[in-house]
């Protein structure tokens, strides 16, 4: 995990908490705990700067993964259109 590489320790409990709303919200769970301000709340509750940084890294990682998935889907859609036009 990225925490271990950058911060030298894991924050698995935090990532489980951040993503817990996925149990009842599914893919739309990022409306909760994924705001750039939420790591500040993590810091205030834990008094652990590394936990806040981990929270922020989680948000950045999710955004990067979502962006990559959207790009891949756009590429696949374009390829399908090209193939349909060829056939």
Q: pLDDT by residue (tens digit) across 13-59? A: 999 999 999 999 998 999 999 999 999 999 999 999 999 999 999 99
Is 90 exceeded by the pLDDT of residue 86?
Answer: no
User: Which residues have C-beta within 8 Å of that of residue 61, sequence separation ≥ 6?
Assistant: 2
Closest to 32 in 3D by CA, of 42, 48, 20, 15: 20
pLDDT for the residue numbered 16: 96
Global pTM reads 0.81
Split into its structural domains, the chain has a count of 1
Q: Residue 80: which domain range?
A: 2-86
CA distance 15 to 7: 14
Is 80 exceeded by the pLDDT of residue 82?
Answer: yes
Place of tokens 């990022």: 30
Residue positions counted in the chain: 87
- Cα angle vertex 39, ends 38, 45, to 5°? 95
């Amino acid at each position: 995990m990225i925490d271990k590489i950058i911060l030298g320790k894991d924050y698995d409990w935090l990532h489980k908490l951040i993503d817990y709303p996925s149990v009842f919200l599914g893919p739309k769970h990022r409306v909760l705990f994924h705001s750039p301000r939420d790591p500040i709340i993590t810091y205030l509750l834990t008094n652990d700067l590394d936990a806040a940084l981990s929270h922020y890294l989680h948000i950045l990682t999710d955004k990067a993964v979502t962006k990559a998935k959207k790009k891949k889907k756009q590429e696949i859609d374009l390829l399908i259109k090209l193939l349909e036009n060829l056939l």
